[in-house]
């Protein structure tokens, strides 16, 4: 029988997912209304894929519990204290990388790089930094 | 920080996964504790000491 803590975590997690879905649908609708139907479709596909993977991680972390992988427990909303530390340090690495990436992008723009391309590249830089730092910190701590 | 968790766990005949379940943490966390890669929070250190029926000072040794 789930404890009240587990029930709260479950409610928070599903609330976050529903909030994410609502934001995604609104963004896609606004984008489509602005005439960018292909962008809206891509946004919906990517967003739903991410939400689907999060649900998969939730199922794994609930079914396998403490035997699941660190990333599954974190994304699935059932982290233990070390998982939280790994997540916090990886998030800090992403934050620090923003301090470097933003000025680099600005200088690149001054030297003629396309601002739209730079803006599109920044999220990918942060995703790569986040994933790599998560894996490295997970292995080292 | 060095610790006696591996010795105590093996003396109790427990796997890392089983000890993790008893303490409410993952097998990876128990492994990281045993190898000294991760220092536990104070509540977890107390839980470990209580589980093995000893004190924190008997389990954890600061590398000074």
Q: How many domains does chain B have?
A: 1
A64: nearest CA partner in chain B: B26
Spatial separation of the C-alpha atoms in residues A66 and B18, rounded to whole Å: 10
* Contact: B38, A141; criterion CB under 8 Å: yes
With an 8 Å Cβ cutoff, are A67 and B17 in contact?
yes
Note whether B32 contacts A80, CB cutoff 8 Å: no
Cβ pair A38, A55 in contact under 8 A: no
User: How confident is the model over A89-119, as pLDDT tens digits?
Assistant: 999 999 999 999 999 999 999 999 899 999 9
Statement to judge: residues A95 and A132 lie in one domain: yes
What confidence tens digit (pLDDT) does each residue in A50-68 have? 999 988 888 888 877 777 7
**Of all residues in chain A, what percent carry a pLDDT higher than 90?**
60
CB-count burial class (<10 Å; 0-12, 13-18, 19+) for A69 = middle
- Domain carrying residue A60: 1-79
Q: Is the pLDDT of residue A4 over 80?
A: no
CATH code of the domain containing B7? 1.10.260.40
Is A65 in the same domain as A114?
Answer: no
In 3D space, the residue among A60, A80, A63, A83 whose CA is nearest the CA of residue A72 turns out to be: A60
What confidence category does residue B64 fall into, taking pLDDT thresholds of 50, 70 and 90?
low
Per CB-CB distance under 8 Å, the chain A contacts of B29 are 80-83
Q: Give the gyration radius of chain A's Cα atoms.
A: 18
d(Cα B60, Cα B39) in Å, to the nearest integer? 9
**Given a cut of 70, is residue A1 above it in pLDDT?**
no
Two structure tokens written together for B2: 């060095």
- Smallest CA–CA distance, residue A50 to chain B, in Å, is 25
At residue A3, the pLDDT reads 60
Smallest CA–CA distance, residue A141 to chain B, in Å, is 5
User: B8: alpha, beta or left, given left = phi > 0 and alpha = psi -120 to 50?
Assistant: alpha
Contacts of B21 in chain A (CB under 8 A): 65-66
- Residue B61, in any domain of the structure: no
């Amino acid at each position: 029988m789930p404890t009240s803590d587990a029930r709260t975590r479950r409610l928070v997690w599903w609330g976050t997912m529903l909030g994410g879905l609502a934001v995604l649908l609104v963004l896609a609708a606004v984008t489509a209304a602005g005439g960018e139907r292909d962008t809206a479709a891509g946004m919906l596909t990517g967003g739903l894929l991410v939400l689907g993977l999060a649900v998969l991680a939730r199922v794994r972390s609930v079914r396998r519990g403490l035997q699941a992988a660190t990333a599954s427990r974190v994304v699935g909303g059932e982290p233990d204290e070390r998982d939280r530390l790994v997540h916090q340090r990886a998030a800090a690495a992403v934050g620090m990388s923003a301090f470097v990436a933003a000025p680099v992008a600005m200088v690149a723009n001054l030297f003629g790089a396309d601002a739209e391309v730079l803006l599109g590249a920044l999220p990918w830089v942060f995703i790569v930094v986040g994933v790599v730092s998560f894996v490295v910190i997970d292995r080292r701590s | 920080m060095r610790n006696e968790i591996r010795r105590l766990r093996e003396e109790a005949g427990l796997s890392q996964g089983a000890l993790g379940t008893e303490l409410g943490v993952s097998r990876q966390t128990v492994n990281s504790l045993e190898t000294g890669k991760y220092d536990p929070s104070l509540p977890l250190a107390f839980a470990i000491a209580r589980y093995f029926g000893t004190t924190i000072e008997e389990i954890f040794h600061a590398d000074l």
